[in-house]
Each structure stands twice: as structure tokens, then as C-alpha cells.
Amino acid sequence: MSKSMLMTGRKNRAVFVLLNITIVSLFFSIGCHKEQQKVDLYVDAVMFSELDKYEMAIEKLNELVKSDKRFPEAYSLLGRMYEKKHDYEKSAASYKKAIELNPWSFEDCFNLGRVYQSTKKFAQAADAYSRACELKPDHLEVHINAAKCFYELGDYDKALSYGRRAEQIGPNESEVHEVLAVIYELQKDYGRAIESYKQALSIDADNSKIIASLAGLYLTTERYDSAKDLFISLIQINPKDVVAYRHLAYCYLRLNDADKAIENYGRAIEIDYNDWEAHKGLGVSYILKARGTEDELLKRKAVEHWRLSLNIEPNQPSRETLLELIKKHTR
């Protein structure tokens, strides 16, 4: 082979190698550019989300997932943005897609559960929370939420299981004992329910929601003295609590203290004149006080408040009973 032919062959091979390197570099450059575009879109979306510009964030994210349908972080953020806009259907769909791409994402399972729970889709919420509990067995909030969803579904055994696990994780959290109390109450295990409410109050003594729940349970179990004390506590926390005044009056009524019942029903009406239940109770209190005296003034006051109660709420459950009482005590 001549020297000139050898040199020509070497040049051709060099040109071929150089061409291949150029082509690979070009494809690599294009790929990097596309990847950088995705990163830029995601970064922009994060920035807009931090600025509470949810529509602009959603626009960037939709553009991103259109070009890359396997970007779990984009779907996760998209779920949060739709949730912020109260578009729960799209939010749930986005979280589900994120979980499909990354089944080990606790955050997406938790968020999906929260969206379903907020829209009262408790079965789907329970499923999502159950998966989240598997991913983080020591996470307090997700166990509490799972317990709540299961008791909404009427599955008290599972609710109790998650509630007790929550108690192990956070024994000093009042909400844990409150949730357990609700479950026990739904199971009609009133003794344990009362003890759990008491435990919750020992941690959070001024929590009016827990106080009201325990007071209501005392009413259910006809422990009127105990209920009375708690309703007094509620009024001390909020002197404008109409419901507390009305329930306190009912306790006095059941304890045969008509004067105290009249006083507290009267206070409820002062705060809210349209409280038809307070007017009805006040009428009953006047009749109770009139017993044995045949005091016509008290009877007239009773009839007056029963009529007011019916005027405010004509379709109340006790309508027929009140009409009969009005007829009986009207002369």
C-alpha cells in the first residue's frame, strides 16, 4: 500500500470519528437543554407558589408535565397548588399521579388523605392515610387522621387501633385522648369516653371544644350536676355562649331548680332572641314553677314563649306537643 493511500485512510477515519463525536455532543447538548428547561419550569413554579401566585405556578407545572409525564415532584406540587385553590378533584388526581410515580412518598399519601378528608370522602382518605401510616409508623398526625376517618366510616375497631397507636406515639397530646373519647362514645362505652375526655382536659384544661363534648356526654348519661359545672366553665370562657346557657338551664330544669332554669334560659334569649329552643325551655320552666300554685301569670308566660318558639321554628320536632300544651294552658 502506498504512503499516500495510507495517509488518506487515516484522514477518513479521523473525519469519521470527529463526525461521530460532533453528533453525540449535539444530542447531549440538546438533551441537556431539554432537561434544563424542565428544571427551569419547576424552579419557576416553586417560586410562584412561594409568592402565592397559584395560577402561574399551575401553568408552569402543566407545561412541565406535558413534556415529562414522569416527574413526580411536579405532580406533587401541582396537587398542592390545586388544593390551595380549593380545586380538590384536580388536587387529588395530581397527588395520585405523584404516588403512582413514587409509591414511597409519605408526603403525597398524607396530602391525598387530607384532600379526601376535607371533601368527606372518608373511604378514600382512610386508604391514603393507612398507606402513609405504613410509610411513617411513628407519625402522630397521620394516625390521628386515620382514626378520625375510620370512625366516620363506622369502622370503630380500626379507628380504635389507629387511635391507640397515636396514644403510644403522643401520650401527652390532648387531641389523641379526644379522638379516643369520640370513638368510645360512638361505641357507647361511656365510662371510657368520660375518662378519655378527662385525660384530654388534664392536658388542655381551657379547651372549650373538649369541655363541651364532655358536658354533652354527661347530659347523655344524665349526670346533670357534673354537666352543670362544665357549662358554667364554658360560660366563664365565653360569656356570650348561647348554647352553654341553654344547656345549663336544661341541667337546672332536670335538677328541679326552676328559678335557675328560668334565669339561664332568659340569658340565652338576651343573647339570641331567635333561639327557639331557649323559648321552648323557658316555657317548660315557667310551667314547672307554676306546679302546685296554679299561678296563671306563669302559665301565660309559658304559653307566650311556646308560641314564640313555634313562630321562630314552625317545623321543630316538638311542634305537636307544644300545640297541645298551648291548648291545655290557654283559657
Q: What is the set of domains in the chain, with CATH numbers?
A: 240-331 (1.25.40.10)
Quote the cell numbers at residue 187. 361505641
pLDDT in tens, 280-290: 999 999 999 98
The pLDDT of residue 46: 81
Determine the pLDDT at residue 143: 98
Instruction: Provide the percentage of residues in the chain whose pLDDT is more than 70.
Output: 89
Chain Cα centroid distance, residue 44: 31
Q: Please state the pTM of the whole predicted model.
A: 0.82
User: Average pLDDT of 133-152?
Assistant: 98
Task: Yes or no: say if 182 and 212 are a contact pair by the CB < 8 Å rule.
Answer: no
**pLDDT tens-place string over residues 212-268:** 999 999 999 999 999 999 999 999 999 999 999 999 999 999 999 999 999 999 999
Contact assessment for residue 258 and residue 242, using Cβ atoms and an 8 Å cutoff = no
Q: Across the chain, what does the average pLDDT equal?
A: 89
Query: Any idea what DSSP says for residue 182?
Result: H
Q: Chain-centre distance of CA 233, in angstroms?
A: 26
Q: Give the per-residue SS3 of 112-151.
A: HHHHHHHCCCHHHHHHHHHHHHHHCCCCHHHHHHHHHHHH
pLDDT for 89 beyond 50: yes
DSSP per-residue letters across 25-83? HHHHHHHHHHHHHHHHHHHHHHHHHHTT-HHHHHHHHHHHHHH-TT-HHHHHHHHHHHH
Alpha carbons within 13 angstroms on the beta-carbon side of residue 148 total 21
Nearest to 142 by CA among 181, 178, 104, 107: 107
CB contact at 8 A, 94 and 82: yes
DSSP class of 21: H
CA distances from 251 to 225, 234, 328 (A): 7, 14, 25
Evaluate if residue 128 carries a pLDDT over 70.
yes
